Structure 1
Amino acid sequence: MNRVYGAIAAFAFLALPAVAHAADNRCGWIQNPTPGNWWLDDAEDTWTIRTQGSDDEPEGMDLIPDISERDYVRTNGSYGYACACMKVDTDGDGRITKIYSFKQLKLAQCRNDKALKFPG
């Protein structure tokens, strides 16, 4: 009888869905230097969010508000950069594949983070 219960328990364990990985919390310079181009520079890497002309827009892109309405630096007309934290999924090629949340921060927070390279 124990073998039957053991087999059922083993099958049930294998049938469980894989535990989802935790999204990354990435903070740094969010840049939108030209139309359709977005990336995030954090202490670890430059993460491509979107490139002009590409159909590879991550799910959740609509969570990024108009960053120019808050603490923001204009570098090219209405385009520029800000400081933000994002909860995201990334792939092995330096791309953000899904955005779960976005929070724009004061520019000073990124400027004071010695691990971040200043944009530009």
Structure 2
Amino acid sequence: MREIKFRAWDKSRKEMEYINNMYWFEENGVDDINNNVFLDFMQYTGLKDKNGKEIYEGDEVELNDFDSLRTGGHTEDNILQGEVSFSCGAWIVITERGHYDLYNALVNDEEFEIIGNIYENPELINQEK
């Protein structure tokens, strides 16, 4: 079973909070997660990058698009950058060239790596290599 964890971007303090248990909400006075104006919540995907770093919604990642149809069987590098998101029941990476299934991207790319997140590294958003 996948471990359920969250992190939250504290808008007032401009720092990331990691939430490893449900008591965190009570301890920090969060009554309604959906109507909280001070925190943006992100869920842990249950997956880790090449460095063993946990991948959360909102992470900016680099991946190599190993598409054998595109490369004719050759393994030419096509480095993409994108944001991890949850859509239509699956974790995906949204890039300027399309959407990629997160799990398949990890399986097919041993160099898959988190390079930042949308809050602490806004300059990475929509930036292609």
Report the TM range for the smaller structure's normalisation: under 0.3
Structure with more relative contact order (C-alpha pairs < 8 Å, separation 6 or more): 1
Which entry has the higher C-alpha Rg, 1 or 2? Answer: 1
